[in-house]
A and B are shown apart, each in its own frame.
Chain A
Amino acid sequence: MMTRWSERVADINDLLLDRQIFDADGHPVGKVDDLELVDANDGGPPVLSAILCGPMAFGPRLGGALGLWWLSVARRLRPDADPTPVRIPFDQVASVDRKQVCLSTRGEDEGPQRLRRWTRDKIVSKIPGGQS
C-alpha cells in the first residue's frame, strides 16, 4: 500500500504534479493538474485528499491572466453548472511513483473523461468512418 501522506514531507512538485494518470486498465485518464489538501482534524499539517484534473483544474494551476482566461472559457463550455474541477479522491489511487499515478478504478465516461466523451459523441462519431 502507499505511503501515509499525512506523515510524509513530500516534495509535491517532484512526486505528483504533472504526472500521467492511468486507470486500472492502463488507459490514460489525464495529468495531475492540481492537488486538493484539507486541514487535518487534529490541527496538524494539511492532508492530501484528492487529485484534481481536467480543464477546470488546469486554469487555476496556470495562474495569472492566462489561467483566468482559460478558466472562464472552460466554465462556459461545461455541460453542467458545477464549477469544481474533476476530483479523484486519494483512496482511489492504487500506486504512485515518479513516472505515473495508477488508479484502482476504471470507468470510461466518468468525470475526468467528460471532454473526451463530448468530442467523441458530438464530433468524431458524426464524421464518416469515425464510428467503426
Chain B
Amino acid sequence: MLTLGVMTAIGGFVDIGNLVTSGVTGARFDVSLAWAVALGTIGMVVYGEMAGRVTAVAQRPVFHVVRERLGVRFGLLNLVAACALSALALTAEIGGVALSLELASDVSYLLWVPLVALGVWGVTWRMKFQYMERIFGLMGLALLVFVVALFFLPTDWGALLSSATHPSVPASESYPTYFFYAVSLVGACIVPYQVVFFSAGGLEEGWTVDSLAEMRLNVLVGFPLGGILTLAIMACSAVVLMPLQVNVSHLGEVGLPAAVAFGKAGLAFALVGFFAATFAAAAETALSTGYSMGQYFGWSWGKWLRPTEAPRFHVVVLGTLLLGTAFVLTTIDPIKVTIVSVVLGAAAIPLTYLPILVTANDRDYLGEHVNGWFANALGVLVLLMMLVVSLVAVPLLLWTKAGQ
C-alpha cells in the first residue's frame, strides 16, 4: 500500500510551493539549484522516516512529541508557528487550485475561490482518508508529463547534467538572490506540515510496529518521487523558458513547456496535475492544523472519527479553511504568498525536527526501534543544515525583497 506515500508526494511534497519555485528557478538559474532540491528531499526522507517510526511504534505523532519534549510554552510557540504557516500555505494552495481552474476555464480565479474552499472542506469533512489518498495520488501522477516532456523537448542532457553537477551563480544574478531561491527550494521540499500530515496519516491508516516496512517503502518512494517531479519541472523550465529570458511569475508559464512538448494533451496532463497537487495540499494543510492542535491539547482527532466524535478537530479545520479563503479573497497574489510561505517554513523547520530527533532516540518510546548511528548521523547533519537555512532565510527574504 503506497497510497499514503504517493499522496504525500503529490500534495505534500509537490504542492504550489514546488510548482512555483521550481518553475521560477529553472527559468532563471538553469538547473544549477538542483542540489537544493536534492538536499530538501534527503532531509524529508530522513525525518519522514523518523516521524513515521515514532508514530508506528509509539503511536505518537509529531505534536504529541513536541509538547512532551519542548514543554508547554515552547510547544505552544511551535504550535502557533506551525498553524500560522499552515494557514499561509493553505492560502497559497487554494490560490493555486483556483489558478489551475482559471487556466482551464478562462474564468477569473477569484470566482473559483469560494467553490474551491467548499470542495476542500467537503473532502476534509466527509471523504474517507483512503479515498482522498487514492484519488489525488492517482490524479497527481499526471505531473509525470514533465518528466516525459524532457525527452521530447530539444533537451541538451549534457548541458543539464553539467549545470546540475557544477552549480554556479549565473552572471545576470546576484549571490543573495541565488541563495534566496536555494532556501525557497529547500523550504518547498521540507514544508513543516508534511511531517505532521505524514505521521498523523500513518495513524489514520492504523500503522503499528508491523507497518514499519510499509512506512519505509512509502518514505523511500513518495518523497523521492516528489523530488523527481520537482526537478523535472525545473528542467523543463530551464529548457523552454530560460532561453526566452522569461521571469516566471504565474502558474500559466510553468505549464507552457508541457504544451510545447505535447500540445493540448500535454497541457491537460499538466493542469490535472497542478489541480490534484494543489487541491490535495489544501486539504493536507487544513487537516494539519487540526492534527497539530488536537495532538497538542490531547483532543480526539482524525478523519477516521466522525465529525461528532472529533468535533474540536473539525471546527479547527473549518476555521483554518475560512481564514485561508478570506486571505485569498483579499486579491493578494497567491504566487507571492507561496514564495513567502516556503521561505518562512524553511525558517521554522528546526522547531519540528528537533523533538522528532530526540524522541527517535528514546528507548521508552521506541524500544529496539530507536535510531541507529546512521539515522542519527544523517539526522544531525540535516538538522545542522536546516539551522543554517533557518538563520539565513528571513534576512535573505528582506535583502532580496523576496527574490526580485
Contact = CB atoms under 8 A, between A and B. Distances in A.
Give yes or no for direct A-B contact (beta carbon below 8 Å).
yes
Interface of A: 17-21, 27-31, 33, 53, 58, 61-63, 97-99, 115-116, 119-120, 123-125, 127, 129-132
Contact of B126 (A21, A119, A129): A129
18 contacts: A17-B72, A18-B68, A18-B71, A18-B72, A19-B68, A20-B64, A21-B298, A30-B299, A31-B296, A33-B72, A53-B298, A98-B364, A99-B58, A99-B365, A119-B315, A124-B308, A127-B307, A132-B306
Contacts of B312: 115-116, 119
A33 B338 CA distance: 36
B311 interface: yes
Given A27-B300, A119-B311, 5 more contacts: A18-B72, A63-B73, A116-B300, A127-B318, A132-B306
A20 B73 CA distance: 17
A20 B125 contact: no
A62 B300 contact: no
A42 B307 CA distance: 50
B303 interface: no
A130 B298 contact: no
A62 B76 CA distance: 9
A58 B125 CA distance: 28
Contacts of B297: 30-31, 58
Contacts of A125: 308
A127 B301 CA distance: 18
Contact of B298 (A30, A97, A119, A124): A30
Given A28-B298, A28-B300, A30-B299, A124 B68 contact: no
Interface of B: 58, 60, 64, 67-68, 71-73, 75-76, 125-126, 296-301, 306-308, 311-312, 314-315, 318, 364-365
Contacts of B308: 120, 124-125, 130-131
B61 to A, nearest CB: 11
B311 A123 contact: yes
A94 to B, nearest CB: 17
Contacts of A97: 364
Contact of A116 (B58, B73, B126, B299): B299
Contacts of B315: 119, 123-124
A130 B300 contact: no
A101 B150 CA distance: 56
Q: Which of A29, A97, A124 has the most CB of B within 10 A?
A: A124
Nearest to B126: A129
B289 to A, nearest CB: 15
Contacts of B311: 116, 119-120, 123-124
A119 B293 CA distance: 15
A115 B311 CA distance: 9
A21 to B, nearest CB: 6
Contacts of B296: 31
Given A124-B314, A124-B315, A62 B72 contact: yes
B164 to A, nearest CB: 45
Interface pairs A-B: 5 shortest CB-CB = A120-B311, A31-B298, A119-B311, A124-B311, A30-B298
A131 B72 CA distance: 34
A29 B312 CA distance: 12
Nearest to A61: B72
A124 B308 CA distance: 6
Q: Which of A29, A98, A123, A131 has the most CB of B within 10 A?
A: A123
A73 B30 CA distance: 53
Contacts of B73: 62-63
A58 B67 CA distance: 13
A130 B313 CA distance: 13
A98 B71 CA distance: 14
A99 B298 CA distance: 13
Nearest to A29: B298
Nearest to A130: B307
Contacts of B126: 129
A48 to B, nearest CB: 18
B309 to A, nearest CB: 8
B365 A129 contact: no
Nearest to B58: A99
Contacts of B67: 18, 31
Contacts of A127: 125, 307, 318
Interface centre among A21, A53, A127 (most CB of B within 10 A): A127
A125 B306 CA distance: 11
